[in-house]
Amino acid sequence: MIIDVFHLPESQIELKLKLIEKVENFKFNFIDISKEPYNITKNCEIIIFEEEYSYISSVDTFDNIIKLYEVFPAVIIITAGRDMFNVVRWMRKGASDCVWIGDFTHEILKNSIRGSLQYVSAKKIGVNKDFRVEDEDFNYSHQKIIIPTNYDWNSLEDNKYYDMVLMMISFYLDKDAIGRYSEINIEKIFDKIKEEINSIVKRFSGQLWFWHNNSGMFTFYFGDCINCATLASIYIFNQLFLIYIENLKLNKLIDFKISLHYGRAFYHKKDTENITSDMLNSIVHIQNQYAEINSLYITDAIYNSLSTRIFSLFTYVGEFEHKKIYRYNMQSENS
């Protein structure tokens, strides 16, 4: 796996890392902080950043570097000082680890990178597929999906952009069903379906954002939101069969579609009718123009960050609006 290393001019860490590179399966892309423009690895998931003197003196450079990446990578900070408050500041900034340059040994860096991989999954950032294949046991054991329990949806502010997963679910009644059920019954059925899905989504730390007629939009933001949302969607996909027959006692199944996309979405708790964002448009387009009925689709923004425990449940089916689309089919490699 490629790790971008942002180092100070004439830094010692380039030498140290090159020694590690020979032993481990890591490949380092060394970038001198003083020489812009930076030749970064676009989809890099872990970066190492060498601090100049302290957090204060380096944070602006750090911010500029982070903006270059499509998805916030896991960050290992190499620091010269041992000031605890300095470390705390970096961790608050989103760093996954802070290593003192004096402690910089092969073992410490290896553990830091491996620890950051776990952090990656907790921060919704996946590891690339090549790495998954190289050490299957390690990847499987370290990619256990953790569903967050301590979160507060009220911490999200209105009229701001957030990196989140949107899950869209739509239901389609055929013409016969419209004749078979009264309008009130159809409303009751959709209400019950909404209630059941919402209770599942909550178990996976998501929330119902809005529901219009036969479609609902759910959001996942906290913890490993990509994997939590994907798990929730798989569970809903399979559970809908039971919801229809066991809970709703329907004698005909209702067609549905589920689509998932991850990206930066404009958020407002209540004023959902006036919200527009590329993210929202994308998922609506996928759902309405691409998805087939009784199917679950995810975009590459989701697929690339899936845990090794579930990524084999999806297969590539094509491209739509410059996004690779994958479909859930449960034809797992190991089944």
Partner 1 sequence: MGISKLKRLLSDAISRAFMTQDIQLFGREIDKNLDLYELTGFPRGCSIPRKDAADQIVDYFFNTKRISHLLELIIKVHKFGFKGEKVIIHNINHIIKEMNECGYQYKSDLEKVVFSESSGKRTDWGFLEEGKSYNFCFISIDICGNSKLVRKYDSYHIKETYKNFKNLITKCILSRNGRIWSWEGDGGLVAFLLDDFVNNAVFTSIDILNSLIIFNATENFLNEDINIRIGINAGQAEYKKSTNLINSDSIELTKEIEKKHTEKSTISISRHTYQYVNALIREFMVEKEINGLSVYQLKLPIWNKINNCEGK
CB of 112 to partner 1, least distance (A): 22
Q: In what order do the strands lie in the sheet with 2-7?
A: 27-32, 2-7, 46-50, 74-79, 97-100
- Binding to partner 1 by residue 214, rule CB under 8 A? no
Helix (H, G, I), strand (E, B) or coil at 167: strand
* Helix H or strand E encompassing 214: none
CB of 142 to partner 1, least distance (A): 10
CA distances from 235 to 132, 196, 240, 326 (A): 24, 12, 8, 17
d(CA 302, CA 124): 9
In the numeric block, which tokens belong to residue 64? 């500029």
d(CA 305, CA 220): 14
- Amino acid letter for position 315: T
CB of 200 to partner 1, least distance (A): 10
- Which of 64, 105, 159, 238: binder of partner 1 (CB under 8 A)? 238
CB of 232 to partner 1, least distance (A): 9
CB of 143 to partner 1, least distance (A): 9
The span of 12-20, 27-35, 180-188, 240-248 binding partner 1 (CB under 8 A) equals 240-248
Helix (H, G, I), strand (E, B) or coil at 264: strand
Which residue, 114 or 252, has its beta carbon nearer to partner 1? 252
Which residue, 11 or 233, has its beta carbon nearer to partner 1? 233
CB of 291 to partner 1, least distance (A): 11
- Which of 2, 66, 122, 146: binder of partner 1 (CB under 8 A)? 146
- Which of 56, 68, 88, 245: binder of partner 1 (CB under 8 A)? 245
- The DSSP secondary structure of 120-138, one letter per residue, reads HHHTT----HHHHHHTHHH
- Which of 30, 72, 181, 235: binder of partner 1 (CB under 8 A)? 235
Q: In what order do the strands lie in the sheet with 323-328?
A: 206-212, 215-220, 160-172, 255-267, 295-299, 323-328, 314-320
Give the number of residues written for the chain: 335
- Amino acid letter for position 230: T
- Residue carrying the six token digits 């957090």: 55
Per-residue x/- track, 104-143, partner 1 (CB under 8 A): --------------------------------xx--xx--
- Binding to partner 1 by residue 155, rule CB under 8 A? no
User: Within positions 261 to 320, which residues make up the interface with partner 1, using CB under 8 A?
Assistant: 292-295, 307, 309-310, 313
- Which residues lie near partner 1 (CB under 8 A)? 136-137, 140-141, 144-147, 227, 231, 234-235, 237-239, 241-242, 245-246, 250-253, 292-295, 307, 309-310, 313, 328-330, 332, 334-335
